[in-house]
Structure formats: structure tokens, C-alpha cells
Amino acid sequence: MTGQNGIAHSIAVASGKGGVGKSTVAVNLAVALAQTGAPTGLLDADIYGPSIPMMTGVRQMPQSRAGKIVPLEAHGLRLMSLGFLMPEGAPTVWRGPMVAGAIQQFLRDVDWGTLEYLIIDLPPGTGDAQLTLAQSLPLTGVIVVSTPQDVATQIAAKAVAMFQQLKVPILGILENMSGFVCPHCGTTAPIFREGGGRRASRQLGVRLLGEIPLDPLVCQSSDRGEPMVTTHPTSPMAEAFRRAADAVAAQVQAGAGAGPAIRMGP
């Protein structure tokens, strides 16, 4: 842990494409880490489509103190998102450099305090915004979210390759929607091809951090602003998120994604 006003580990959650549940993963993974007792923050860097306000049920405007923005708090997390600062439904029509500037301001001008983990929900894709963000942040490592089907894992492989080119440590692949949990009998059935995350892990030589099943309750929980890990703590999905959080923490503490700490303030 760094000293006062420092962040020990900054971890990006990325995806090669949209629609894989990246923000759902970021929220529940952050909550699971916070539940271990580690001070945790969640930065919504998905500037074009900030969904953290809805998923956490937080919609008020942050306040300032001594020239710094005070992050909002919910579910044991410190939160910051452009969605807190703009009218609901307003589009963000910005070029890449403006996006990078906004993220740098969130790091520089937000009083995050002392955190063990800062989870950063990146925009989907591998375009200019992602490149600029990855180059602007001293990341401890990145988690790449995918779904099991071949097309998704092929695109995830491109995201892994991009971060490897940028010299960002890859903490691993996290497979989302790995199977459908029946709300009646509780059994899990594959809805895509099975084992896509495992195959990608072997082919790319990176760790498989976990396989998160798809539960109908996740949509209901997200729409209510209540992370699945807190509302249904004994569900297969919540248990999978906690195992993934343990795997991420183990990777970081073992130095697999060791990187420089972010220092906030003077």
C-alpha cells in the first residue's frame, strides 16, 4: 500500500467489443474486492457510454473540497463517472484527446484518498480512445472480458495483443456469460460454445481468471442499481465473481501485474 493519498494498484477492465458485459464485470468485481476489506475505487472511463451511475444506483452530483472532487460512495466503493457530471441522456461527442484529458482530470482532481485497488472501466474496442487511455495511465494490469463464442474470443485476442504492445501487464481473461443459470432448477446450461475463455487462455498464454455464468437476476439487479454480488451473495454468479476477485488479488500480490502506484495530489 502506498502512503496517504495514494493508490496501490490500478486495474483496467477492457474488452475488444461491446456487449460482453464489461461494465457489469467491473462493478461486481470491484464490490467483491471491497468485500475482502480492501479500500476500493471504481472509475468509469467509458466516456461515451457511462453506465456505472445506473448500475450502482448513484445519480447525485459530486461535491468539491479544498479544490478536489470528492468521489461518491456506494456499495463500499468510491465512485467517479462522467455520468455524475452531465445531464442524464446527454451524448458525449468528444475526440480521443478530450477523452484522455477527462480521465487524467479524474485522476488528478479527484480526492480518491488511499486505495488498495482502483478498478477502471475502459471503453470497449481497440481504437484511439483505448490507446490514449492505456498510454496515459500507469496501469498495474488489465483484465480482458470476453464471452465463450469464437468470434468474441478472437476479438478479445486483439485486445490482449494491443495491451501487450503497450507493455501493459495482462492479468488474465475473464469469461462472462459462460452458461445460463435456469431460474427454476438452478442448473447451468451453455448458450454459446463452451470453453472459449479456456482456449483463448491457452492460445495467448495468459491466465483464465474465471467463468461467470449468466443469471436473469443480473439484469434486474443492474437496473435497480444493486450489484449482483450484494443482492444475491449466494448465487452462482456472485460466487464466481468472488473467485475471480480472489484470482485477481493473488495475481497482483504475487507481482504478476506489478506496476507503479498512482500518486494523487502534490
pLDDT at 95: 63
Q: Is 64 within a domain?
A: yes
| 8, pLDDT greater than 60 | yes
pLDDT at 263: 36
HSE-CB at 138 with a 13 A cutoff on CA atoms is 13
Top pLDDT among 77 and 95 is at: 77
- Residue 133 within a domain: yes
Helix (H, G, I), strand (E, B) or coil at 138: coil
* Least confident piece of the model among 7-16, 56-65, 182-191, 208-217: 182-191
pLDDT above 80: residue 44? yes
Residue 1 counted as domain residue:
no
Q: Is 209 inside any structural domain?
A: yes
Does 121 reside within a domain? yes
Q: Which amino acid is at 241?
A: F
The chain-wide mean pLDDT, for the chain, equals: 82
**How many domains, in total, are found in the chain?**
1
Domain range for 118 is 6-263
CA separation for the pair 177, 83 (Å, rounded): 26
Structure confidence at residue 182 (pLDDT): 67
Number of Cβ within 10 Å of residue 102's Cβ equals 16
Residue 31 belongs to domain with CATH number: 3.40.50.300
Task: Please tell me which residue, 191 or 96, carries the higher pLDDT value.
Answer: 191
> Is 54 inside a domain boundary?
yes
Q: Are 170 and 164 in contact (CB under 8 A)?
A: yes
- Whether 174 maps to a domain, the answer reads yes
Domain membership of residue 140 (yes or no) is yes
pTM of the model: 0.86
